[in-house]
Structure 1
Amino acid sequence: MKKRQALIKRLVIGLTGAAALYAVYYCSQALPVATGYGAKIMGSGIFISGRDQKDLAQKELDFWPLNLATFRVDYQDSSVTCSIAGMASSKAIFRKGLGVTLINGLSETEIRAQKINMVFPVVGNRDTIAWPMGDKIVNTYPDCVDSIAVGNAVARAFNAEESRAGTRDSSRVNLTRALVILYDGQVIAEKYATGYSASTRLTGWSMAKSVVGALMGILVKQKQIKIDEPAPVQQWKDPSDPRHHITIRHLLQQTTGLDFEEVYNKPSHANKMLFVEGDAAAFAAARSFNKAPGEDFRYSSGNTNILSGIMRKELGDSDYHIFPYAHLFYKLGMYNTVIEPDASGTFVGSSFCYATARDWARFGLLYLNNGKSNGEQLLPEDWVKQSVTPSTAAEQGEYGFQWWLNAGAKNNPKNRLYPELPVDMFYADGYEGQNIFVIPSKKLVVVRLGLTRTSHWGENELLKSVMAAIDTDKKQ
């Protein structure tokens, strides 16, 4: 009996010790991710979106362990420090024209000393310049649009906020903050939640991937890259390395075969890359290889940041930071957009882009118009077609060049992500309910920005209602 009790005691002590060690290990991995996330979201929310610290803490950062965090906002040096119980701390700094950058890998002094070329356009009164290059928007509607029905559909999208707000279960939050609908290039609906406006820049999260897809298209048009040759990545230059055979097309289509964990509820590769590492592109490129390129579709923020690193290598630092603005954003009238770099100076193209709802709509309009804006063909003439052609590895026909698709399975189009919506629909999809939907057959672009922690925010119902409100057979 005594031997048995002693054995049980040793077992309990052993299990307790193992649990304690695991807890220490988990905290050492998870807490730096949490504080990095907290500092970055708080920093961008305050210094880019112009939001209130308390509001951000109560909405974006209300979950464990960030509900235990301490935030120190320094308006003198434009920084945010997030710490949790003295066990982990992260700092993020704001720089004009660059947005917010986490201090990882380099010191704050080194990051602030970086010489980065930027371009700031001289823009007049945009309210006097016609949409889409400006913000002068006509108040009339095409005859084929039932404006009342569209307005009702928009109102329902915002009513979800009223029904879910205040719930004790933060995982059920569904807040629409901005909604813009274009028909045939014209704004036919626009609405903002209290505290937000047409000038509020909001995160797109993974909608940034579609922006990187466009930038790669521009590089192709300028003949600076070829997408079917081995990707020019330093870590893969050895021909004996199986990663040497990964092409830019594989990166665009998310079929690289790299072992990259894309989940957000633990210290995954994605979370470490975004919130702990100082060089996202290098971290992603260092991942091991587990499948042949082109064989398997696996969505990965790492692939997009590798593309961002390639763009920097091909352009050089003198042009790299100017490039998205001079060759894409300002050409579209996107003057309220910022894409943020990591500590190394490389844009975090997978996730860190802030823009107004109107600017996101302008970007969607570029793709509706087959890569043309203001009379200029910005993208190769076949780039949009390539972008919305499913990868053969995407079994549901769900992914192209950094855009999600609704094409459906090759031999069964009904097997698609949104069976009730058109097969030609494609969309940018960001964490917590950020979306740009483009439906060419209906001449529609729909932008929704918000905070949704459920699987869907009601996009299927909204899009169906908007399509029903447009009588395409009616003379315009």
Structure 2
Amino acid sequence: MKNLFSLFVILFLLNCSSKNSDETIEQEPIIENTYFPSVDSNTWDKVSLSYLNWNENQQQPLLDFLEDKNTKGFIMLYKGKIVIEEYFSNHTSTSNWYWASAGKTLTSTVSGIAQDENLLNVNNKVSDYLGTGWTSVSLIKENLITCKNLLTMTSGLDDSFGDDVSPNNLIYKADAATRWAYHNVYVKLQDIVAKASNTSWKNYFNTKLSDKIGMNGTWINLGSLSIYWSNTRSMARFGLLISNNGKWENTQIISENFIKEATNTSQNINNAYGYLWWLNGKENHLLPNSQTIFNGKLIPNAPLDMYCALGKNDQKIYIVPSKDLVIVRMGESANDSNFALSNFDNELWEKINNLIQ
């Protein structure tokens, strides 16, 4: 009888162990590899705050802050999976909104793809592709300007003549590579890609980038500028591609080497600027419409390794390699109208830190 009782106890314990094992299997699996949403459908896997052990009590304060600051769309990705996706003010997951200067990073990326395909070389002078006379400066000075100068905002052209990038508005200010200034002349890279690829900018962009990762946006011409509009998920898709060093699942869309160059200091004047990407964690930085060197990080509350796309009136893509995060924000200006960086960045990162720490 004693042996029978012992056998019963053993079987009971084994059954409990089996149940516990089954319960473990039913939990969310450990995210080892980066997830990529389908290119052909709108499905996108999610991961819970509790699984990530984030502070769930801080989610609503973050969302309240975003709504109060005129946000339209907000997404947080962890290793590619959606942690938070929220829309405000009648904006939806299918609504399009402008990227403004955050879209500069699209131009940088497509220029890199064209270089990967040996259609251009960023070290070559712009006039190799557009011909001479694309500016109003002397031929000697014009021929100093390379594609890399356009990528790094070091063309030396006068930035005080507004958005128009016709030759009459492209005036000499300094030799190329000697002065950093935020200037819309970067859009000439789109003309360069079109010339080099013997197709239109929009067609090359769609074929080589947008279609391959499932973006839904469109380029809209405003004067001499072409502004990208898309839904918030398309912005997140692009951020995910860049965060994975230019690779989408098993396909290398743009070379890892170019991504590394683009997301690190690109010249010796503004440490916080790559190839149209902004970089955090540097000792000092310059800002649009200013030649003042500001000491300290670009966004003090953000992680040191964070880099970002920043657009007018607070369009944002934040990428944080150390935390496997991609964060996007679309909407109206949070406070006052701005070119790229604003106090909103630092305030938003305070809320994000409260959530993820």
**Normalization by structure 2: what TM-score?**
0.77
For the residue of structure 2 that corresponds to 1:437, the secondary structure is strand
Q: Quick check: 227-236 or 290-299, which moved more?
A: 227-236
The yes-or-no answer on 1:235 pairing with 2:132 is yes
The yes-or-no answer on 1:204 pairing with 2:99 is yes
The Cα offsets for residues 93-112 of structure 1, whole Å up to 9 and x where unpaired, read as xxxxxxxxxxxxxxxxxxxx
Matches within 5 A, 1:295-310: 295-302=178-185, 304-310=186-192
Match of 1:340 among 220, 223, 229: 220
Match of 2:82 among 181, 187, 190: 187
2:168 and 2:236 mapped to 1: Cα distance? 32
Change (3 A) 1:239 1:259: closer
Tell me the residue number matched to 2:231.
Answer: 356
Tell me the residue number matched to 1:141.
Answer: 48
**Normalization by structure 1: what TM-score?**
0.59
2:352 and 2:184 mapped to 1: Cα distance? 31
Match of 1:440 among 303, 321, 330: 321
The Cα offsets for residues 388-423 of structure 1, whole Å up to 9 and x where unpaired, read as 11133434x221101111131379997121122222
Tell me the residue number matched to 1:221.
Answer: 116
Per the TM alignment, residue 292 of structure 1 is displaced from its structure 2 partner at its CA by 1.4
User: Residue 194 of structure 2 contacts residue 204 of structure 2 at CA under 8 Å; is this kept in 1?
Assistant: no
Tell me the residue number matched to 1:323.
Answer: 204
2:236 and 2:180 mapped to 1: Cα distance? 28
User: Residue 300 of structure 2 contacts residue 346 of structure 2 at CA under 8 Å; is this kept in 1?
Assistant: no
Unaligned residue ranges in structure 1 (runs of 5+): 1-129, 161-173, 262-267, 274-279, 472-476
Per the TM alignment, residue 470 of structure 1 is displaced from its structure 2 partner at its CA by 3.3
Change (3 A) 1:376 1:150: farther
The Cα offsets for residues 244-302 of structure 1, whole Å up to 9 and x where unpaired, read as 111111110000101122xxxxxx422xx2xxxxxx4xx15851222111111101112
1:204 and 1:366 mapped to 2: Cα distance? 17
2:235 and 2:178 mapped to 1: Cα distance? 32
For the residue of structure 2 that corresponds to 1:321, the secondary structure is helix
Tell me the residue number matched to 1:458.
Answer: 344
Change (3 A) 1:236 1:405: farther
Q: Partner letter of residue 138 of structure 1? A: D
Q: Partner letter of residue 155 of structure 1? A: L
Match of 1:258 among 157, 160, 163: 157
User: Residue 183 of structure 1 contacts residue 444 of structure 1 at CA under 8 Å; is this kept in 2?
Assistant: yes
Q: Partner letter of residue 299 of structure 1? A: Y
The Cα offsets for residues 150-184 of structure 1, whole Å up to 9 and x where unpaired, read as 62243133342xxxxxxxxxxxxx41111111111
User: Residue 202 of structure 1 contacts residue 354 of structure 1 at CA under 8 Å; is this kept in 2?
Assistant: yes
User: Residue 258 of structure 1 contacts residue 290 of structure 1 at CA under 8 Å; is this kept in 2?
Assistant: yes
Provide runs of 4+ in structure 1 moved above 6 Å.
Answer: 410-414
Tell me the residue number matched to 1:375.
Answer: 250
Change (3 A) 1:321 1:140: closer
The yes-or-no answer on 1:291 pairing with 2:211 is no
1:243 and 1:158 mapped to 2: Cα distance? 45
Q: Partner letter of residue 144 of structure 1? A: L
How many residues are matched? 305
Change (3 A) 1:149 1:332: farther
2:46 and 2:236 mapped to 1: Cα distance? 17
2:263 and 2:202 mapped to 1: Cα distance? 27
Tell me the residue number matched to 2:19.
Answer: none
Tell me the residue number matched to 1:409.
Answer: 283
2:45 and 2:55 mapped to 1: Cα distance? 13
Per the TM alignment, residue 149 of structure 1 is displaced from its structure 2 partner at its CA by 4.2
